A and B are shown apart, each in its own frame.
Chain A
Amino acid sequence: MTAAVAVLLATGFFFHAVAALGVLRLPDFYTRLHAVGKAETLGVLLTLAAVAAWTGPSLTAVKVGLVAVFLLVANPTSTHAVGRAALRLGMEPWRREPGESS
């Protein structure tokens, strides 16, 4: 059980770190939405799976699963709402400058 928890926590932390790196380094708002909407959601699910595996079958584990399902729905929904608001206000997506290398 401890080994499974360790693996789940490590992979969850890896995806959290990828999301944080994306939020820090990606060039504009629309690209940062990807980091929060996808990488962070996966990290959340793996970390909550570790917590539920540690708890074992109980009412608390069911509540942890409830938090996981809610965040699975809520996190992409809120990033979608913010992105749609930005698009409707006419924010321009980032493009590479003509002379700039990748």
Chain B
Amino acid sequence: MSAIDLFLAAALGLLALVLVYVYRIAVGPTVFDRILGLSGFGTQTTIVLLLIGVVYERLDMFVDISLGYALLSFVGSLAAARYFERTGARR
């Protein structure tokens, strides 16, 4: 079993764990649970992108994509938290 197979196995396992965050986004119960799930989902996706880059042997390309995705996900969850803090939506 080569190291590439290890990275592929880790990527598939992390993709299975993403389903937990999807469940948290879908079920809630509050809007903040959904924002938290989205933040965790974004972090997990960043890691999976890097592992896919290792598997495809194109890490130099995928690392830029994952850096951009991490930035967008961070700004998005901060903006959502600020929005709901100001408007006061409970659900």
Contacts and interface: CB of A to CB of B under 8 A. Distances in A.
A binds B: yes
Interface of A: 1-2, 5-6, 9, 12-13, 16-17, 19-21, 23-24, 29, 32-33, 36, 40, 44, 47-48, 50-51, 54-55, 59-60, 63-64, 66-67, 70-71, 74-75, 77-79, 81-86, 88-89, 91
A1 B2 CA distance: 11
A63 B63 contact: yes
B35 to A, nearest CB: 5
Interface in B46-80: 46-47, 50-51, 54, 59-60, 63-64, 66-67, 70-71, 74, 77-78
Contacts of A63: 63-64, 67
Give 3 closest A-B pairs by Cβ, nearest first: A85-B85, A74-B74, A20-B20
Contacts of A70: 67, 70-71, 74
Interface residues of B, number: 44
A23 B67 CA distance: 24
17 contacts: A20-B21, A40-B43, A47-B51, A54-B3, A60-B59, A60-B60, A60-B63, A67-B66, A71-B43, A78-B81, A81-B81, A82-B39, A82-B81, A84-B81, A84-B85, A86-B32, A89-B84
> A interface, by DSSP: helix, strand, loop or mixed?
helix
B74 to A, nearest CB: 4
Contacts of B84: 85, 89
Contacts, number: 138
Interface of B: 2-3, 6-7, 10, 13-14, 17, 20-21, 23-24, 30, 32-33, 35-37, 39-40, 43-44, 46-47, 50-51, 54, 59-60, 63-64, 66-67, 70-71, 74, 77-78, 81-82, 84-85, 88, 90
Contact of A23 (B37, B74, B81): B37
